[in-house]
């Protein structure tokens, strides 16, 4: 076998092997180098995988040459190749951002361990996306979650500890629910392979065990992806984690959980079962609309800007679930586009906030007064990311909202389309609150504050540039997302 044939496993294994090395080397610079190398290699691999899958269809990789369905299979199709690209793009940007940001926010002694946890988290997230075995999903889910708890607890504020603990409790309950669901599926079908499950399950739709498994999986996954009202762990975890961790988690962890939901409910159970038998679409529509509306409202009244954006994240997850609840290819295209687009905008926004933390040590809205003139590049990045969040044309946010509204109109649900527009205005309100303070209020004192260093600004602006570039030249991303949506709905040509 050539090395190219091993691509599906490489991007998971490379960070996994580098992680213990990071913990062993004890040198801050070397640990960072390993983390950056791991992230960049994953990005290269996942881009190659995406182009290979787009050109010649799904790739199946049998781990240790044990033939599926008995061995563990890694199966890459357009959907997970897409998610792999999303995760590794953000991981690469955050890795470069982390060098200076982490040094400022995490104790020296802990920095090599920080990068070890970062690589473990990355490898877990990539593993969830790459694997074709449901129990393997659980294992990688726990690898990524456990390292995420550790990463969040490294925040400077002592509330980081309590929010990590709460996340641990809720996350473990969610993961346990997922294992119960997987166990019940195995009890009915006798297989753990996704492909195999999707063939056997239609024969046993009527079994109560299958429906119970569906219920457990639904609750567990929704806890992991922070769908309202199971989002309670998220705002504090994002608000008090180190800046680099917030940018990474906000842009990847919940996205991968959304991917798991799509994979379980559309590929394994099948769209016909989820929408036809279980009525998932109606339930998700209700939850998504409540999430979008109530969380945007809560975000408007937050004083801590990081927490403001965290609530906005919960609302944005609502948009992704809303696309799924349309039960159509257009809706799913919107979900998959927003998956990537939201990662880009929240990544950029949280990185800009990290620059603010680096210079003034606070993200309280009052402390940011007058920053527009003192840190012009940082705040400009924030404004650009904010515009994308609102969904202004020429940014990626516009592309996903456009498809979301198309999907709603296709179903004839114009009130939903109106609500999407109204909540976009609410997004404008909470972004504007920050902009107003930063640009139109005088700074609280005369202390000179310098612009953030280039090593923070370059990754931030790289994501901002992607926000704009992919907002203008959206053809390619839309093409991939549409093909992925067709694969999920089972209508691929």
Partner 1 sequence: MMSELLSQVVGSYNYWIVVFLMMTGFYILISRGNLIKKLVGLNVFQTSVFMLYISLGKITGGTAPILVDDPEALYSNPLPHVLILTAIVVGIATTSVGLALAVRIKEAYGTVEEDEINEIEAGIDDRRAPGRAALRGP
Using CB under 8 A as the criterion, which residues of the chain lie in contact with partner 1 when the complex forms? Answer: 107, 135, 138-139, 142, 146, 149-150, 153, 156-159, 161-162, 164-165, 168-169, 172-173, 175-176, 179-180, 183, 186-187, 303-304, 360-362, 364, 366-367
Shorter beta-carbon distance to partner 1: residue 186 or 293: 186
Alpha-carbon distance of 8 to 53, in angstroms, equals 11
Shorter beta-carbon distance to partner 1: residue 126 or 360: 360
| HSE-up of residue 447 (Cα within 13 Å, Cβ side) | 8
Shorter beta-carbon distance to partner 1: residue 93 or 184: 184
Beta carbon of residue 400, minimum distance to partner 1 (angstroms, whole number) = 33
Q: How far is CA 350 from CA 200, 242, 305, 446, in A?
A: 44, 10, 9, 26
Given a contact cutoff of 8 angstroms between Cβ atoms, the answer to whether 471 and 388 are in contact is yes
Shorter beta-carbon distance to partner 1: residue 86 or 170: 170
Alpha-carbon distance of 4 to 192, in angstroms, equals 27
Integer Rg of the chain from CA: 21
**Other beta carbons less than 10 A from residue 119's beta carbon:** 30
Shorter beta-carbon distance to partner 1: residue 156 or 411: 156
The runs of H, that is alpha helices, within 327-453 are 329-360, 371-374, 376-390, 396-410, 414-440
Can you tell me whether residue 491 is helix, strand or coil? coil
Shorter beta-carbon distance to partner 1: residue 334 or 360: 360
Residues whose CB is less than 8 angstroms from the CB of residue 338 and which lie 6 or more positions away in sequence, other chains included: 316, 319, 320, 323, 400, 404
Residue in 47, 34, 48 with CA at minimum distance from that of residue 119: 34
335 token code pair: 């979900």
Q: What does the chain come to in residues?
A: 493
Given a contact cutoff of 8 angstroms between Cβ atoms, the answer to whether 456 and 377 are in contact is no
Shorter beta-carbon distance to partner 1: residue 257 or 320: 257
Q: Identify the residue whose tokens are 């997922």.
A: 178
Shorter beta-carbon distance to partner 1: residue 57 or 107: 107
**Other beta carbons less than 10 A from residue 364's beta carbon:** 15
Residue 87 belongs to what H/E stretch? helix 78-105
Alpha-carbon distance of 36 to 235, in angstroms, equals 28
Alpha-carbon distance of 306 to 365, in angstroms, equals 9
Facing residues of 131 across strands? 74
Shorter beta-carbon distance to partner 1: residue 52 or 232: 232
Beta carbon of residue 362, minimum distance to partner 1 (angstroms, whole number) = 5
Shorter beta-carbon distance to partner 1: residue 61 or 149: 149
Residue in 387, 302, 388 with CA at minimum distance from that of residue 343: 388
Beta carbon of residue 125, minimum distance to partner 1 (angstroms, whole number) = 16
Shorter beta-carbon distance to partner 1: residue 166 or 486: 166
Beta carbon of residue 135, minimum distance to partner 1 (angstroms, whole number) = 6
Beta carbon of residue 285, minimum distance to partner 1 (angstroms, whole number) = 29
Beta carbon of residue 161, minimum distance to partner 1 (angstroms, whole number) = 5
Beta carbon of residue 174, minimum distance to partner 1 (angstroms, whole number) = 12
Beta carbon of residue 313, minimum distance to partner 1 (angstroms, whole number) = 20
Beta carbon of residue 347, minimum distance to partner 1 (angstroms, whole number) = 24
Given a contact cutoff of 8 angstroms between Cβ atoms, the answer to whether 184 and 213 are in contact is yes
Shorter beta-carbon distance to partner 1: residue 365 or 383: 365
Residue 60 belongs to what H/E stretch? strand 59-62
Beta carbon of residue 179, minimum distance to partner 1 (angstroms, whole number) = 6
Can you tell me whether residue 453 is helix, strand or coil? coil
Residues whose CB is less than 8 angstroms from the CB of residue 459 and which lie 6 or more positions away in sequence, other chains included: 93, 94, 96, 97, 351
Beta carbon of residue 118, minimum distance to partner 1 (angstroms, whole number) = 16
Beta carbon of residue 160, minimum distance to partner 1 (angstroms, whole number) = 9
Shorter beta-carbon distance to partner 1: residue 19 or 79: 19
Beta carbon of residue 40, minimum distance to partner 1 (angstroms, whole number) = 28
Residue 263 belongs to what H/E stretch? none
Given a contact cutoff of 8 angstroms between Cβ atoms, the answer to whether 296 and 228 are in contact is no
CA 372 to chain CA centroid, nearest Å: 29
């Amino acid at each position: 076998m050539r090395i190219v044939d091993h691509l599906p496993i490489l991007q998971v294994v490379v960070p996994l092997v580098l992680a213990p090395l990071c913990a062993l080397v004890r040198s801050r610079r070397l640990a960072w180098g390993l983390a950056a190398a791991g992230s960049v290699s994953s990005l290269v691999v996942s881009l190659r995988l995406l182009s290979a899958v787009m050109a010649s269809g799904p790739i199946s990789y049998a781990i240790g040459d044990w033939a599926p369905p008995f061995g563990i299979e890694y199966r890459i199709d357009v959907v997970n190749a897409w998610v792999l690209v999303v995760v590794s793009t953000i991981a690469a940007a955050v890795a470069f951002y982390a060098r200076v940001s982490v040094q400022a926010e995490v104790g020296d002694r802990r920095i090599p361990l920080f990068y070890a946890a970062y690589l473990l988290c990355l490898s877990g997230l990539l593993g969830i996306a790459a694997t074709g075995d449901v129990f393997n999903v659980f294992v990688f889910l726990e690898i990524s979650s456990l390292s995420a708890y550790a990463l969040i607890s490294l925040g400077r504020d002592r509330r980081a500890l309590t929010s990590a603990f709460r996340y641990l409790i809720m996350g473990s309950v969610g993961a346990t629910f997922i294992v119960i669901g997987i166990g019940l599926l195995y009890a009915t079908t006798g297989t753990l392979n996704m492909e195999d499950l999707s063939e056997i399950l239609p024969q046993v739709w009527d079994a109560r065990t299958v429906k119970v498994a569906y219920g457990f999986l639904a609750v567990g996954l929704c806890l992991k992806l922070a769908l309202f009202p199971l989002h309670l762990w998220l705002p504090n975890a994002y608000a008090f984690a180190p800046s680099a961790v917030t940018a990474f988690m906000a842009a990847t962890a919940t996205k991968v959980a959304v991917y798991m939901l799509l994979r379980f409910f559309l590929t394994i159970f099948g769209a016909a079962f989820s929408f036809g038998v279980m009525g998932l679409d109606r339930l998700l529509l209700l939850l998504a609309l409540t999430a979008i509306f109530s969380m945007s409202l809560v975000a408007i009244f937050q004083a801590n800007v990081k927490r403001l954006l965290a609530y906005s994240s919960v609302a944005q997850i609502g948009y992704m679930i809303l696309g799924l609840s349309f039960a159509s290819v257009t809706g799913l295209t919107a979900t998959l586009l927003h998956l990537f687009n939201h990662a880009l905008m929240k990544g950029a926004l949280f990185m800009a906030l990290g620059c603010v933390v680096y210079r003034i040590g606070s993200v309280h809205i009052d402390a940011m007064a007058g920053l527009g003139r003192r840190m012009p590049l940082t705040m400009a990045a924030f404004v650009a990311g904010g515009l994308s969040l609102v969904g202004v044309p020429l940014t990626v946010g516009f592309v996903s909202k456009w498809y979301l509204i198309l999907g709603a109109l296709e179903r004839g649900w114009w009130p939903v389309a109106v609500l999407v527009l109204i909540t976009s205005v609410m997004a404008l309100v909470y972004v504007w609150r920050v902009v107003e303070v930063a640009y139109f209020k005088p700074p609280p004192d005369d202390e000179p504050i310098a612009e953030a260093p280039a090593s923070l600004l370059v990754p931030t602006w790289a994501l901002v540039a992607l926000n704009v570039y992919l907002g203008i030249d959206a053809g390619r991303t839309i093409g991939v997302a549409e093909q992925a949506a067709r694969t999920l709905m089972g209508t691929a040509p």
